Amino acid sequence: MKIVGVSTVVVGTPWRELTFVELVTDDGLRGVGEARMLNKTDTLLACVTELAGRYVIGADPFDTERLAWRFSWEEYGRAGEVTQTALACIDQACHDLIGQALGVPVWRLLGGAFRDRVPAYANGWYQGDRHPMSYADMARRVVERGYRGLKVDPFGSATAELDHRQLGVAVDIVAAIREAVGPDVALMVEMHGRFTAATAIAAARALEPYRPEWIEEPVPPYHVSALRRVRAGTTLPIATGERVHELSEFREMFEQGLVDIVQADLTHFGGVTAIQKLAGWAGAYGLLMAPHNVCGPVGTAANLHFAIACGNYKVLEHFNDFADPWLSEIVEGAPSVDPADGCFRLPTAPGLGVKLDRAAAAARPRTRAHFNLMAEGWERRNSGPVPPSGEASV
């Protein structure tokens, strides 16, 4: 079996663009992968086109290790977010093709079923007024949907530092959520890598009474020394890794004990092939996997198959019940959370088990959304792109 065609389609939402990559084989199979490329969709499309022509056309989709090696070593330049995302889209599609060719779901290729359901936590649900009671009401609705975990960034557009008022509002929001959902629902607190170490420590200590499941990316991913200070300054578990794109970049964090929950994004980390290696390495340090997942249904399906087979998996992030719920309409077989227990069920169809409906995808054209975490009101996720004056359309 050889890959003879590569095609892309971009689906737009008010706050994200989802890039789908389909691989076509000489025997007529179609495999699909997906990524949300933050604010650089055109760059990703160019990378997919260039590298697919160089390495993918004519390749056997079973040769995923060889493909990953070529994307790194034969390119020579250091792989980063864009290249690793292009590789991840293609790697997902290759696994989809392998599963279809063998007539088995992808999780069987990854070691079989370690579990038959995967706990989910909700994100993208806090799209109302930034007020404690508003957040409490929205949080109750999340739990009513069956979720046993939810994540929130209560810090608004704050950057680097928080003054006393800003920290007070954030703490009041978290306190209201905790009171609304009760003591047994996991509450993850997102910091989006925006703070200095001192600010992250102050925020963590103020939030400790509300028992967050973790604090996420308290400092920028390239500030390992700052992360070391945060580790020393709080008892809360630390989750990080969504903006780490290569295996070796986790070495220092693992060896120094700076992370508890590993959050590499499968769709920015080279795909299923790479994240399986990371899971094994994390397991050697006694760490749990909770990959970042801001994808639509295909990327979520890839994460689900990985989670089914991964022994040190914790929980799967899910946006699509709250942000852009119509995304399930652009594929057949979209994974969904069972409201009975807040878990994804074991997928049984061959491959990833999802089929892109190209006509439905075409009905949701590109929005050229610019998602800006530094903008006031970003959490509403419903404002369209505002190009700078004089920017040309592409």
Contact between 181 and 143 (Cβ < 8 Å): yes
CA–CA gap between residue 297 and residue 355 (Å, rounded): 10
203 closest CA partner among 169, 157, 241? 169
Q: With b meaning 16 or more CB within 10 Å and e meaning fewer, what string describes 367-384?
A: bbbbbebeeeebbebeee
CA–CA gap between residue 150 and residue 373 (Å, rounded): 19
The torsion angle over the Cα atoms of residues 217, 220, 222 and 226, rounded to 10 degrees, is -90
Q: Of the listed 95, 192, 245, 305, which one is catalytic? A: 192
CA distances from 3 to 23, 87, 97 (A): 7, 15, 10
CA–CA gap between residue 241 and residue 192 (Å, rounded): 11
Handedness of CA 107, 112, 114, 117 (dihedral sign): positive
3-state secondary structure 161-220: CCCHHHHHHHHHHHHHHHHHHCCCCEEEEECCCCECHHHHHHHHHHHHHHCCCEEECCCC
383 has pLDDT over 50: no
Average the pLDDT over 212-220 and give the result: 98
Q: What is the pLDDT of residue 386?
A: 35
**373 contact partners, CB below 8 Å, separation of at least 6:** 157, 192, 194
388 has pLDDT over 60: no
* Residue 382 pLDDT level (bands cut at 50, 70, 90): confident
Annotation marks residue 245 as catalytic: no
pLDDT digits (tens, 9 = 90+) for 328-354: 999 999 999 999 999 999 999 999 999
Neighbours of 328 (CB within 10 A): 18
247 has pLDDT over 90: yes
Write down the architecture of domain 107-351 according to CATH. Alpha-Beta Barrel (3.20)
Phi-psi region of 58 (alpha: psi -120 to 50; beta: other; left: phi over 0): left
pLDDT digits (tens, 9 = 90+) for 155-173: 999 999 999 999 999 999 9
Q: What type of residue is 64? A: T
Query: What class, spelled out in words, does domain 3-106+368-380 have in CATH?
Result: alpha beta
pLDDT digits (tens, 9 = 90+) for 291-335: 999 999 999 999 999 999 999 999 999 999 999 999 999 999 999
Q: What angle do CA 90, 12, 141 make, to 5 degrees?
A: 105
Q: What is the pLDDT of residue 391?
A: 33
Q: Of the listed 95, 245, 268, 292, which one is catalytic? A: 292
Annotation marks residue 370 as catalytic: no
What are the residue ranges spanned by the domains of the chain? Answer: 3-106+368-380, 107-351
pLDDT digits (tens, 9 = 90+) for 350-365: 999 999 999 999 999 9
pLDDT digits (tens, 9 = 90+) for 109-140: 999 999 999 999 999 999 999 999 999 999 99
389 has pLDDT over 70: no
What is the rounded average pLDDT for all residues in the chain?
Answer: 95
